[in-house]
Structure 1
């Protein structure tokens, strides 16, 4: 039996619908709080909810909140948003990347992880298996002491390198995947180190078809994308709307290059909307509606113009592929 684990409980994959597979809804990352980076604090659940409703109004059904414990997750606020908007939310257990760990552990987490002054010291002092047990608890019992269980597990690595502690969390998350059968998502800084992550995951015995690699559009290299796709993994093009990194034409070219090579069943698309200035109702940004309302019609037109079935591809990227990617498989 396969199922998807959401904030409201387990559902069948057929119930998921049109899905953004990498977003952030409410978060106060301790690292960015310490640095005074206000734009990176999504701290008003009412404003976030208005953007979620915009997404829903255009046919959106589900959102993966990719906020891990070290990125200032707010489980109760996100649960409230999901309940009040009627949009399904999938939560995330696990970790982010190492530079974020040089920040104080919030007081409400001390009972859960111990009295460590920073995430770095917690991860450094705990064993791989102890960290795996923490992630397993978040998937099987609930995140941060709540009854809301994580629907995927996550780790991250930095730009062009994997630190020893990032490798430690990778191995912990891999072991949590084996225990829980939760799908696995990875953060790749600027789209780098996915192939190196793959080698480490293979050593931990993780089947790559359970894994989605984030930020693939930050590294717009078709050869690189193909090497990842050959493993059976999912590729997440999750920087839509961020023209500062690349024009949409580049993203669409990379996506269609993979489709042309037969990898359309392994592509995910979303926005990683993690700043106030990206949200419409925080700071006049393009908002959560931009992909579904504006990018999708453009993609269909471009795909159709190159001889593909654009509508069929959109259904794959936003409905069929997320339903397979997010499944727990017994």
Structure 2
């Protein structure tokens, strides 16, 4: 039976409820010095605000080596009543120091499988694999990590979420993962497509069968944010309503709602009502409830 793997154990997909399909409660990267997400109390307050707004689940895309305290995620889930899904996987080279990468580079697939099946450092298990493409292409690091992610998928059934750099290289990712590496497109979640608002590419990715995660209102992407509803409307009209996901992608402390930013609650306080007005309440419910339930389930 298909279930969703959360930090508190496997649950039926229907149990997720209203879901932020791509976000971060904890994140540490040399590309964001001084802006680390490492405050457990702030994370708890943010989850409490999200739940107050009607949210019930958050998918935490922070992968290996970027400050994801799995035990803390489990504690927060118990404390706040918000279901949390953790990620294994690996981001781009720029997010790591050389020593950490050298220590894991030759055992990526084994690491991903272990964190999906046995737990992150002996704690809660990951429920997805997160990897990353490059800007308009895939470098050697991306190909290596995606190859490892594909093996982890074939061994566990786990979904694979992909960071698309500035929204680019979606079709290259699908050619590799779903072509060469034989991952079913329905098990691939493409993140950040809204950052490159090329509707033709978005439609091609949807036609291939992948899930499309439109995320990032917590980021300063003003040139593309205002096109979000246009893209969602066009994809719905093209028959892809059941492949669309919505997330916040909070990556800095200042972006949290409890620090004055939009944060997790913005998705439900502002974005969901806008989607309901523009496209319809039932479709919006699909984006936030039914679609994540299908995207993140697996036959573990």
TM-score above 0.5: yes
Q: Supply the distance in 2 between the matched residues of 1:47 and 1:123 (Cα, whole angstroms).
A: 30
Query: Is 2:288 aligned against 1:312?
Result: no
Structure 1 residue 76, shift from structure 2 partner: 2.1
Report the 3-state secondary structure (helix = DSSP H, G, I; strand = E; otherwise coil) of the residue aligned with 1:60. Answer: coil
Q: 1:132 to 1:270 in 2, by over 3 A?
A: same
Match for residue 168 of structure 2?
192
Q: Supply the distance in 1 between the matched residues of 2:141 and 2:26 (Cα, whole angstroms).
A: 26
Report the 3-state secondary structure (helix = DSSP H, G, I; strand = E; otherwise coil) of the residue aligned with 1:72. Answer: coil
Correspondence for 1:54 among 46, 49, 62: 49
Structure 1 residue 161, shift from structure 2 partner: 2.8
Structure 1 residue 85, shift from structure 2 partner: 0.4
Structure 1 residue 288, shift from structure 2 partner: 1.4
Is the 8 Å Cα contact of residues 97 and 187 (structure 1) preserved in structure 2?
no
| Structure 2, unpaired ranges of 5+ | none
Is the 8 Å Cα contact of residues 240 and 269 (structure 1) preserved in structure 2?
no
Structure 1 residue 243, shift from structure 2 partner: 4.8
Correspondence for 2:103 among 112, 119, 122: 122
Is the 8 Å Cα contact of residues 98 and 163 (structure 1) preserved in structure 2?
no
Q: Supply the distance in 2 between the matched residues of 1:185 and 1:28 (Cα, whole angstroms).
A: 19
| Structure 1, unpaired ranges of 5+ | 105-116, 304-309
Match for residue 299 of structure 1?
275
What are the equivalent positions in structure 2 for 1:152-191 lying under 5 Å apart?
A: 152-191=128-167
Q: Supply the distance in 2 between the matched residues of 1:122 and 1:136 (Cα, whole angstroms).
A: 17
Match for residue 113 of structure 1?
none
Q: Supply the distance in 2 between the matched residues of 1:245 and 1:72 (Cα, whole angstroms).
A: 28
Structure 1 residue 235, shift from structure 2 partner: 0.4
Q: Supply the distance in 2 between the matched residues of 1:178 and 1:74 (Cα, whole angstroms).
A: 26
Structure 1 residue 251, shift from structure 2 partner: 0.5
How much is the aligned-residue C-alpha RMSD, in angstroms? 1.5
Match for residue 275 of structure 1?
252
Is the 8 Å Cα contact of residues 216 and 225 (structure 1) preserved in structure 2?
yes
Q: Supply the distance in 1 between the matched residues of 2:220 and 2:92 (Cα, whole angstroms).
A: 24
Match for residue 147 of structure 1?
123
Structure 1 residue 242, shift from structure 2 partner: 3.5
Q: Supply the distance in 2 between the matched residues of 1:118 and 1:326 (Cα, whole angstroms).
A: 28
Match for residue 64 of structure 1?
59
What are the equivalent positions in structure 2 for 1:209-228 lying under 5 Å apart?
A: 209-228=186-205
Match for residue 13 of structure 1?
13
Is the 8 Å Cα contact of residues 215 and 249 (structure 2) preserved in structure 1?
yes
Question: Normalising to structure 2: TM-score of the pair?
Answer: 0.95
Q: Supply the distance in 2 between the matched residues of 1:131 and 1:156 (Cα, whole angstroms).
A: 14
- Which one is further off, 73-82 or 145-154? 73-82
Match for residue 109 of structure 1?
none
Larger CA Rg, structure 1 vs 2: 1
Q: 1:289 to 1:210 in 2, by over 3 A?
A: same
- Which one is further off, 75-84 or 227-236? 75-84
Query: Cα deviation per residue 1:172-200 (whole Å; 9 max; x = unaligned)?
Result: 01000000011111111011111111111
Counting matched residue pairs gives 299
Spell out structure 1 runs of 4+ moving beyond 6 A.
Answer: none
Query: Is 2:299 aligned against 1:329?
Result: yes
Is the 8 Å Cα contact of residues 123 and 165 (structure 1) preserved in structure 2?
no
Query: Cα deviation per residue 1:245-264 (whole Å; 9 max; x = unaligned)?
Result: 43543001011110010000
Is the 8 Å Cα contact of residues 26 and 77 (structure 1) preserved in structure 2?
no
Report the 3-state secondary structure (helix = DSSP H, G, I; strand = E; otherwise coil) of the residue aligned with 1:285. Answer: coil
